[in-house]
C-alpha cells in the first residue's frame, strides 16, 4: 500500500465532535494499510476571529505579523487531531509548516511553495506514525512564517501528495463532490464522477468554490489524482485526474455562474491600443482583478475597449481611469453594474465547434441578452444581467443535458 494524503477543511474540524468524526476518517484509511498524511485547516471561524482582533489593533496589520497570527489556527488543529488519534491508540505526530519542511518564497500573505523537504515526514511514516501537517503555512528561506493565501490548505495537501508521490489526495469538504452546477440554485444539478484537471481549473476559477485553482494547478503539474468528497456523508466523491474515463460523451460538464460583475467600457483609444498595457498595468498594481477583456473598432475606426471587474473594485477603477485620462489618452468611459457571468465548461468542447453557438441560441431563445462573451478551449463565458443569472444557468443546464443520468463507458 502506498501513501495517501487526506485534507480536512475548517468545517470538518470546526468543533470537538467534528474533530472526532475526522479522526474516524483518518483511522479508516490507516486501517486499510495506507501510510497516512493528514493536512488540516484552522477550526471553523478561528481565522475570522484572529483577523478581527488584528483589525482592532491596526487598520492595515503588517503582513508578516498577520502570517505569525493566522498560522496559529492550523497549529491548534494539528495538535488536537494528533492527541485525539493518540487517545484512540494510534501513533500520531503533528507538524507545523516549518517542521514539515514546507519552504515558500519570501512573501507574506500569499506565498507560493517552492520546495518540500520530506525527510522528516518520510521517517515518521516509516515508523508507522500518522503525520498531521498544518495547512496554509510554510517557512521562507530566512526562517519567517509565511501563509499561502486563500485555499492554502488545499495547496499544502496537493503539494505534499506530489512531493511524497502519494497514490492520491483526498479533499474532504462540506459538499459531496463537484457538481454540474450549484445545487442551491439548480435543483437538477448532479454530482460528477470525474472531471479533468483543466475542467476543474475552470470550475474553480469560475467560483465553484470546492477547490482552490492553485491547488488544482499543482495537482495537474504533478499528476496527483484528487478526490473531492464529503467529510460527513458516506458518498463517493468526484475524481479529478488527467484522463477522464467516464462521462466521455458529455461535451459540457458544468455550468458555473457568479454575480457582482461590472463592465467598464473605454472610448477614444485613437492610437490603436498603444496605451492598453498601461491601463492594465495600472489596474494590476492596485490589485484590481480584470476578468473578460474585449476590444473592437466602431464604424468610424475608433477603438473601444470593454472589460469586466468585480463590483467592489468599481470605485477604485473609476478613480484610476479618471486620474489617468490624459496619460492614458482616454476620451471617456462608461460603467454598467448589476451584471453576472454565466459559463459552460467541458474539455469536449475543443472538438465540438457548435457548442458556443448552441449556448448563444439557448440564451436567445429564452430572451436573455448577452453583454460580453469570452471563450477558451474548454469554456465559454457570457456576461448577462444579474437578474437573469439563475434562469440562464438553469436553461443551459437543461439544454446541455447535465441533469441526465450518468453514462459510464
Residues forming beta bridges with residue 334, ordered by sequence position: 265
In the complex, the smallest distance separating the C-beta of residue 149 from a copy of itself, rounded to whole angstroms, is 17
Burial class of residue 81 in the structure, from the number of CB atoms within 10 Å of its CB (0-12 exposed, 13-18 middle, 19+ buried): buried
Q: Does 373 bind a copy of itself (CB under 8 A)?
A: no
107 binds a copy of itself (CB under 8 A): no
Give the bridge partners for 132, in sequence order: 38, 94
Widest Cα–Cα separation across the chain: 78
- Binding of residue 19 to a copy of itself (CB under 8 A): yes
- For residue 74, say whether it is annotated as part of any ligand binding site: yes
Listed in order, strand segments (DSSP E) in 268-369 are 293-297, 303-310, 332-345
Is 66 a binding residue for a copy of itself by CB under 8 A? The answer is yes
Q: Which three three-digit cell numbers place residue 109?
A: 500573505
Output the smallest distance, CB 271 to a copy of itself, in A: 44
Stretch that binds a copy of itself, among 60-68, 206-214, 246-254, 360-368 (CB under 8 A): 60-68
| C-beta of 75 vs 196, nearer to a copy of itself | 75
Over the Cα atoms of the chain, what is R_g?
23
State the binding string over 288-327 for a copy of itself (x if CB under 8 A, else -).
----------------------------------------
C-alpha separations of 53 from 59, 61, 68, 136, 237 in Å: 11, 10, 13, 20, 37
Does 123 sit near a copy of itself (CB under 8 A)?
A: no
For the segment 74-93, give every residue that binds a copy of itself (CB under 8 A): 75-76, 78-80, 82-84, 86-87, 93
Give the nearer residue to a copy of itself in terms of CB position, either 65 or 247. 65
Is 174 part of any known ligand binding site? yes
Which is nearest to 157 in space by CA: 25, 12, 9?
Answer: 9
Instruction: Choose which of 11, 21, 99, 303 interacts with a copy of itself (CB under 8 A).
Output: 99
Closest CA to 146 of 109, 173, 189: 109
Partners of 379 in beta bridges: 345, 376
**What cell was used for 218?**
499543482
Binding mask 30-59 for a copy of itself (x = CB under 8 A): --------------------x--xx-xxxx
Alpha carbons 94 and 77: distance in angstroms, whole number: 9
Residue 10, annotated as binding a ligand: yes
Instruction: Please indicate if the annotation marks 173 as binding a ligand.
Output: yes
Which alpha helices (DSSP H) does 324-388 contain, by range? 355-365
Q: What pairing do the DSSP bridges indicate for beta strands 130-134 and 35-40?
A: parallel
Using the minimum distance from each CB to a copy of itself, give the nearer residue, 8 or 257. Answer: 8
Q: Is 2 annotated as a binding residue?
A: no
Q: Which residue has the cell 465548461?
A: 345
- Tell me the binding residues: 7-10, 47, 74, 173-174, 184
Q: Which residues bind a copy of itself (CB under 8 A)?
A: 16, 19-20, 50, 53-54, 56-62, 64-66, 68-69, 71-72, 75-76, 78-80, 82-84, 86-87, 93-94, 96, 98-99, 143, 145
- Residues that constitute the known binding site for ATP: 7-10, 173-174, 184
Amino acid at each position: 500500500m502506498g501513501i495517501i494524503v487526506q485534507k480536512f477543511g475548517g468545517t470538518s474540524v470546526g468543533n470537538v465532535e467534528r474533530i472526532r468524526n475526522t479522526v474516524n476518517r483518518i483511522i479508516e484509511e490507516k486501517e486499510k494499510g495506507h501510510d497516512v498524511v493528514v493536512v488540516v485547516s484552522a477550526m471553523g471561524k478561528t481565522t475570522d476571529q484572529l483577523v478581527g482582533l488584528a483589525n482592532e489593533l491596526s487598520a492595515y496589520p503588517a503582513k508578516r505579523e498577520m502570517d505569525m497570527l493566522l498560522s496559529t489556527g492550523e497549529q491548534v488543529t494539528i495538535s488536537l487531531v494528533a492527541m485525539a488519534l493518540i487517545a484512540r491508540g494510534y501513533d500520531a505526530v503533528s507538524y507545523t509548516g516549518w517542521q514539515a519542511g514546507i519552504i515558500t518564497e519570501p512573501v507574506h500573505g500569499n506565498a507560493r511553495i517552492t520546495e518540500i523537504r520530506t525527510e522528516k515526514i518520510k521517517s515518521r511514516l516509516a515508523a508507522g506514525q500518522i503525520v498531521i501537517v498544518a495547512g496554509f503555512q510554510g517557512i521562507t528561506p530566512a526562517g519567517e512564517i509565511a501563509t499561502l493565501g486563500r485555499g492554502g490548505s488545499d495547496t499544502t495537501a496537493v503539494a505534499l501528495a506530489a512531493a511524497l508521490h502519494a497514490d492520491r489526495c483526498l479533499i474532504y469538504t462540506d459538499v459531496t463532490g463537484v457538481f454540474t452546477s450549484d445545487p442551491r440554485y439548480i435543483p437538477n444539478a448532479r454530482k460528477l464522477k470525474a472531471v479533468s484537471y483543466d475542467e476543474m481549473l475552470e470550475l474553480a476559477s469560475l467560483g465553484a468554490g470546492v477547490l482552490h485553482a492553485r491547488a488544482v494547478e499543482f495537482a495537474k503539474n504533478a499528476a496527483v489524482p484528487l478526490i473531492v468528497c464529503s467529510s460527513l456523508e458516506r458518498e463517493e466523491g468526484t475524481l479529478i485526474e488527467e484522463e477522464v474515463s467516464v462521462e466521455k460523451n458529455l461535451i459540457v460538464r458544468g455550468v458555473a455562474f457568479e454575480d457582482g460583475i461590472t463592465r467598464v467600457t473605454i472610448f477614444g483609444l485613437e492610437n490603436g491600443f498603444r496605451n492598453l498595457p498601461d491601463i492594465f498595468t495600472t489596474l494590476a498594481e492596485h490589485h484590481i482583478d480584470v476578468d473578460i477583456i474585449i476590444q473592437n473598432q466602431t464604424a468610424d475606426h475608433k477603438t473601444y475597449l470593454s472589460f469586466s471587474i468585480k463590483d467592489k473594485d468599481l470605485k477604485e477603477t473609476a478613480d484610476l481611469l479618471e486620474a489617468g485620462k490624459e496619460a492614458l489618452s482616454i476620451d471617456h468611459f462608461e460603467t454598467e453594474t448589476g451584471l453576472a457571468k454565466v459559463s459552460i465548461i467541458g474539455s469536449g468542447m475543443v472538438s465540438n465547434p457548435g457548442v458556443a453557438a448552441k449556448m448563444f441560441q439557448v440564451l436567445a431563445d429564452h430572451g436573455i441578452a448577452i453583454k460580453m462573451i469570452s471563450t477558451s478551449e474548454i469554456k465559454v463565458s457570457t456576461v448577462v444581467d444579474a437578474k437573469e443569472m439563475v434562469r440562464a444557468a438553469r436553461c443551459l443546464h437543461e439544454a446541455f443535458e447535465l441533469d441526465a443520468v450518468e453514462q459510464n463507458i
